[in-house]
Amino acid sequence: MSDLDRVLSRIDSDFDNSLARLFDLLRIKSISTDPAFKADCRQAADWLARELTALGIDADVRDTTGHPMVVGHRKTDGKDDAKAGPHVLFYGHYDVQPVDPLDLWERDPFDPAVVTREDGSKMIVARGAADDKGQLMTFVEAARAWIAETGGLPVPVSVLLEGEEESGSPSLHPFLTANKDELACDLALVCDTGMWDRETPAITTMLRGLVGEEITITAADKDLHSGMYGGAARNPLHVLSSVLAGLHDETGRVTLPHFYDGVIEMPDDVRALWDQLGFDHEAFLGGVDLKYPAGEADRGALEHIWTRPTCEVNGVWGGYTGAGFKTVIPSQAHAKVSFRLVGDQDPDQIRLAFRTYVREHLPADCTVSFSKHGGSPALRLPFDSDALAKGRKALADEWGREAALIGCGGSIPIVGDFKTMLGMDSLLIGFGLDDDRVHSPNEKYEMTSYHKGIRSWARVLGELAKG
């Protein structure tokens, strides 16, 4: 048997113990956003550091101004196990979302259980099962099997586990800055993503960037009686509505000058792969009780959410919004607007273009102020990346079908930090599913996702070691 065959066999024979270890971690109430669970977050960090050290990855808990980080390195006699392949940094997070509303849970969210469905399939139910404890433990258990069977790992491995991902990661940026030399590796491995469907693995190759702006338009110095001033005084809600409406043309394109500078068209072979995925946009929209696609009229739904930039109005308010009716012309009108970015779009240029557009469309007697929220560029893993090719090979060997190369409509800030601060690309492989009820009651993780996820990471590590 090859080393990999022995590792995979061990994963299978030791799976019950792997599941028990995951359950131990899931029982810890590591809710990062609630100060009442500070000690639980520390407990989760301590638990992971002990587990990593016990399996052969020297790890410790590092204090921050918030919840602690766990950092580990696999070394033998002061040297990395392997010289072949890249030195990888595996990232995951041990904190979880709050469990409210508790009455919608079918069992205690911190009492994990395996639930068997009528068709015989099984799922792990608990808070954090999918996001992100189950996901991060797939890598930990794969590393355990490699070390147990071969005495080492096929590539040098470092580990970074944080405890504030679900509460905005306030300590992460300064931690990366302070520990840049220690944490900079050749490639980051990120597990906080998903599959295309239950049988089709996926690698997320594109993440959209984000620019957020809050604007306040002010007219009169106080709210006005609409009978006394209506028609004579400027209404900032009218002004704001006109400004927002002008952000798109009749085809759905964003009207800001140079907005599409840096937007990259997808290669034909990637488009062909997407066509084979059989994405049903009607079912996608139907799941939220919608029917007709919006956005750019000449683009498909997958393009809209993966590779095209957007401008969305996230909130609008002003005047009287309480119960009953109050006939006022408000002094101020407010809106929150976000832009999802792709390709090489420049967040600073998008922000400047938006602010310039708003100012140019203000009538006399109105002023505007802006508040900045976020500003990160889009990220993509080159389609000719060696790590991508090896990741696809490993996943195809495990799942028996090609891994889908998918985009992500959202943003994962840590991936941007790895690129801009540590100079690393990231290979994003996870085994979550759309119906895992992440952040919701009755969160679950498929048993196949956990078992085959462990086997998949074992294969990925083996492939990365090949020249």
What pLDDT, in 10s, does the model give residues 100-118? 999 999 999 999 999 999 9
Same domain? For 246 and 370 the reply is yes
Burial of 203 (0-12, 13-18, 19+ CB in 10 A): buried
Question: Do the domain assignments include residue 368?
Answer: yes
Predicted local confidence at residue 81, as pLDDT: 53
Residue 65 confidence (pLDDT) above 60: yes
Same domain? For 257 and 141 the reply is no
Q: How confident is the model at residue 83 (pLDDT cuts 50, 70, 90)?
A: low
Same domain? For 337 and 431 the reply is no
SS (H, E, C) the chain: CCHHHHHHHHHHHCHHHHHHHHHHHHCCCCECCCHHHHHHHHHHHHHHHHHHHHHCCEEEEECCCCCCEEEEECEECCEECCCCCCCEEEEEECCECCCCCHHHCCCCCCCCEEEECCCCCEEEECCCCCCCHHHHHHHHHHHHHHHHHHCCCCCCEEEEEECCHHHCCCCHHHHHHHCHHHHCCCEEEECCCECCECCECEEEEEECEEEEEEEEEECCCCCEEHHHHCCCCCCHHHHHHHHHHCCECCCCCECCCCCCCCCCCCCHHHHHHHHHCCCCHHHHHHCCCCCCCCCCCCCCHHHHHHCCCEEEEEEEEECCCCCCCCCEECCEEEEEEEEEECCCCCHHHHHHHHHHHHHHCCCCCCEEEEEEEEEECCEECCCCCHHHHHHHHHHHHHHCCCCEEEEECCCCHHHHHHHHHHCCEEEEECCECCCCCCCCCCCEEEHHHHHHHHHHHHHHHHHHCCC
Same domain? For 330 and 401 the reply is no
User: pLDDT by residue (tens digit) across 269-309?
Assistant: 877 888 888 888 888 888 889 988 888 998 888 888 888 99
Residue 29 CB: number of other CB atoms within 10 A? 20
Cross-strand pairs, 218: 332, 367
Same domain? For 338 and 233 the reply is yes
Number of structural domains found in the chain:
2
Cross-strand pairs, 211: 339, 375
Same domain? For 365 and 389 the reply is no
Same domain? For 339 and 400 the reply is no
Give percent above pLDDT 70 in the chain.
98
Predicted local confidence at residue 140, as pLDDT: 98
Q: What is the CATH number of the domain that holds 129?
A: 3.40.630.10
332: containing domain: 209-263+309-376
Give percent above pLDDT 90 in the chain.
82
Sign, CA torsion 120/126/130/136 = negative
Predicted local confidence at residue 78, as pLDDT: 46
Decide if 177 contacts 110 (C-beta within 8 A): no
Same domain? For 346 and 383 the reply is no
Question: Do the domain assignments include residue 274?
Answer: no
Please give the single-letter amino acid code of residue 351. Answer: R
Q: What is the mean pLDDT of the chain?
A: 94
Overall average pLDDT of the 430-439 stretch:
94
Q: What is the CATH number of the domain that holds 336?
A: 3.30.70.360
Overall average pLDDT of the 68-80 stretch:
76
Question: Do the domain assignments include residue 216?
Answer: yes
Predicted local confidence at residue 76, as pLDDT: 52
Last residue of a domain, one of 376, 408, 429: 376
Predicted local confidence at residue 413, as pLDDT: 80
Same domain? For 167 and 24 the reply is yes
Question: Do the domain assignments include residue 397?
Answer: yes
Decide if 263 contacts 309 (C-beta within 8 A): yes
Residue 84 confidence (pLDDT) above 70: no
State the Cα–Cα distance between residues 120 and 293, nearest whole angstrom.
Answer: 37
Same domain? For 32 and 93 the reply is yes
Overall average pLDDT of the 204-233 stretch:
94
Overall average pLDDT of the 347-369 stretch:
97
Decide if 68 contacts 163 (C-beta within 8 A): yes
Question: Do the domain assignments include residue 272?
Answer: no
Question: Do the domain assignments include residue 276?
Answer: no
Last residue of a domain, one of 335, 350, 376: 376
Predicted local confidence at residue 361, as pLDDT: 97
Last residue of a domain, one of 376, 407, 427: 376
Least confident of 212-216, 251-255, 408-412, 459-463: 408-412
Same domain? For 39 and 119 the reply is yes
State the Cα–Cα distance between residues 150 and 335, nearest whole angstrom.
Answer: 58
Overall average pLDDT of the 4-31 stretch:
98
Question: Do the domain assignments include residue 268?
Answer: no
Predicted local confidence at residue 52, as pLDDT: 98
Predicted local confidence at residue 103, as pLDDT: 96
Overall average pLDDT of the 391-406 stretch:
96
Residue 63 confidence (pLDDT) above 50: yes
Angle formed at CA 411 by CA 437 and CA 164, multiple of 5 degrees: 70
Predicted local confidence at residue 402, as pLDDT: 93
Same domain? For 234 and 347 the reply is yes
Supply the Cα-derived Rg of the chain in whole angstroms.
25
Decide if 201 contacts 446 (C-beta within 8 A): no
Question: Do the domain assignments include residue 302?
Answer: no
Overall average pLDDT of the 377-404 stretch:
93
Task: Please list, residue by residue across 132-148, b when 16 or more beta carbons sit within 10 angstroms of its beta carbon and e when fewer do.
Answer: bbbbbbbbbbbbbbbbe
